[in-house]
Amino acid sequence: MLKGEKFMDVVTIKIKTLTPLWTGDENGKNTVLRETGLIGSLRWWYEMVVKGLGRKACDPTDSESEVKCKDKKHCDVCELFGCTGWARKFRLEVEFSGGQLLPLEPNVKIGTRRGETHLSRRVSGFISDKPIVFKFIPLREITDNEWALLNKTLKVISEYGALGAHTSQGNGVIQIVENGLLQGDSVEIIREKNKTGAANLLEDFFVYKINVTFNKEISELIKNKAFWRQNKSYGDLEDKRDDGWNQLWNDYHFIPIAYHIRDALRRTEGDEGKRHEIFGELGRGSKVFVSHGYRIDDKTVQVRVFGWLTGNREKIKNKLVNGLGEYLFSDNSHSSQDNNLNVKIIEEKSGIEILN
């Protein structure tokens, strides 16, 4: 798209799913990939970028909010994504470029340890072996700045965050493979025009990209049942997951280790109240998000850890680098050589660094 074109028939983005996408439905199931779920996630990240640039954004879900948009005075987020009495400026359609979008529920049930109990997690979501096409269809004029902000938002998601729901449990990592959105300096124009003095909500944002390199090829580790499935202290936990692990790695190039890593990170905070505040509990969301391990090569996966924290980051970093083996490997692994790994933080950024 050329700068200056404000109204186009369609703008397309092609993405690759590195870990499953989850959008859910009214029953909490993931039977279809819902555009509304993707739009909700896009809006959430768009709001973070807008606030990160120092501009204000209302909370349309809060009927008592003092900054809720009223009448025709819309904040930057509501102007593009809509609010009561003001429709969204675009329609999102999702298409598949020759691939099959699979509702992923393989025979994989992951166990983690908490106290005297074992918790099981099922891997699920949608994933495609071919690029997925997002079509942004304008319904009325969209400004250059709005296109640029949407482009920046998608880049932040692709490089540092995740899209959709269940992102604290491994889902939603994408890669942009073709981008038809406006490229340019419009975000800088918005930054220069900002006079609101709004708090920068990306100030506490952090992201670590870590490469986990195993001593053997991952397919061999799966064959050897090297990944964790029991704990000596609490006895066996059956994990009927062999076929599922092979499918995830061979067909979709990721291994479902987000649960294990979250289990490790939760133990960095001894105070139960603070632990629940940081990592969530039933009915309470997490401030720290962990992806599954997506393929770099036959022995290496990359994991993305991101979130909003003012403290505790050094504990998290130390655990990532030095403490993952204890949580990733089975006590029954065939050889101690299976248990060797190297963890390296390859990128570490704050929210301010990301926007700059």
* In a shared domain, residues 29 and 129: yes
Are 89 and 55 in the same domain? yes
* Cβ contact 193:335 at 8 Å: no
What sign results for the dihedral spanned by CA atoms 13, 14, 19, 22? Answer: positive
Closest CA relative to residue 242, chosen from 259, 255, 260: 255
In a domain, 1, yes or no: no
Helix (H) or strand (E) holding 126: strand 125-128
pLDDT of residue 9: 72
Arithmetic mean of pLDDT over the chain: 79
Predicted local confidence at residue 331, as pLDDT:
58
Of the three residues 169, 193, 217, the one that is the final residue of a domain is 193
Say how many C-beta atoms besides its own lie within 10 A of residue 198's C-beta. 17
pLDDT recorded at residue 166: 87
Same domain flag for 158 and 275: no
Q: Could you tell me if 318 and 349 lie in one domain? A: yes
Asked whether residue 194 carries a pLDDT value surpassing 60, the answer given is no
Torsional sign, CA 30, 35, 36, 38: positive
If asked whether residues 72 and 117 sit together in one domain, one would say yes
Is 298 part of any domain? Answer: yes
* pTM of the full structure: 0.85
User: 293 and 248, same structural domain?
Assistant: yes
Does residue 6 sit within a domain? no
Whole-number percent of the chain with pLDDT over 70: 71
As a whole number, mean pLDDT of residues 301-324 equals 87
Same domain for 211 and 350, yes or no, is yes
Shared domain for 127 and 179, answered yes or no, is: yes
115 and 226 inside one domain:
no
Tell me whether strands 254-255 and 230-231 are parallel, antiparallel or unpaired. Answer: unpaired
Q: In whole angstroms, what is the distance from residue 202 CA to residue 49 CA? A: 8
Q: Which pLDDT does position 116 carry in this prediction?
A: 46
Q: Is residue 124 part of a domain?
A: yes
Instruction: State the average pLDDT over residues 185-191.
Output: 55
Is 327 in contact with 262 (CB distance < 8 Å)? no
- What is the domain count for the chain? 2
CATH number at residue 58: 3.30.70.1900
Last residue of a domain, one of 141, 163, 193: 193
- String of b and e for 251-272 (b: at least 16 CB within 10 Å)? ebbbbbbbbbbbbbbbbbbeee
pLDDT per residue as tens digits for the range 100-138: 555 555 545 555 554 545 556 677 788 888 889 999 999
Q: Are strands 11-17 and 174-179 parallel, antiparallel or unpaired?
A: antiparallel
For 63, other C-beta atoms within 10 Å of its C-beta total: 8
Q: Is residue 167 part of a domain?
A: yes
Q: Is pLDDT at 147 greater than 70 in this prediction?
A: yes
Which residues span the domain enclosing 100? 11-193
Q: Report which secondary-structure segment, H or E, holds 322.
A: helix 313-322
> Does the CA dihedral 155-161-166-171 come out positive or negative?
positive
Q: Is the dihedral of CA 150, 155, 158, 159 positive or negative?
A: negative
Judge if 218 and 335 occupy the same domain: yes
Domain boundary among 161, 193, 225: 193
Which residue, among 26, 265, 303, has the nearest Cα to 162 in the 3D structure? Answer: 303
Assess whether pLDDT exceeds 60 at residue 197. Answer: no
Q: How confident is the model at residue 211 (pLDDT cuts 50, 70, 90)?
A: very high
Residue 187: inside a domain, yes or no?
yes
- Residue 13: per-residue pLDDT: 94
- Whether 252 is covered by a domain: the verdict is yes
Least confident of 17-26, 75-84, 203-212: 17-26
Q: Which two tokens stand for residue 203?
A: 């100030």
State the Cα–Cα distance between residues 304 and 318, nearest whole angstrom.
15
Least confident of 29-38, 251-260, 286-295: 29-38
Residues 232 and 165 grouped into a single domain? no
What's the mean pLDDT in 223-233? Answer: 63
The H-assigned helical ranges of 161-287 are 186-193, 218-223, 242-252, 258-266, 272-279
**137 or 314: which leads in pLDDT:** 137
Alpha-helix residue ranges (DSSP H) falling in 26-110? 35-52, 76-81
pLDDT confidence bin for 248, thresholds 50/70/90:
confident
pLDDT band of residue 70 (cuts 50, 70, 90) is low
pLDDT at 309: 82
- Look at residue 296 and tell me if it is in a domain: yes
Residue 23: DSSP 8-state: -
Phi, psi of 232 (to 5 degrees): -60, -35
Tell whether 74 and 159 lie within a shared domain: yes
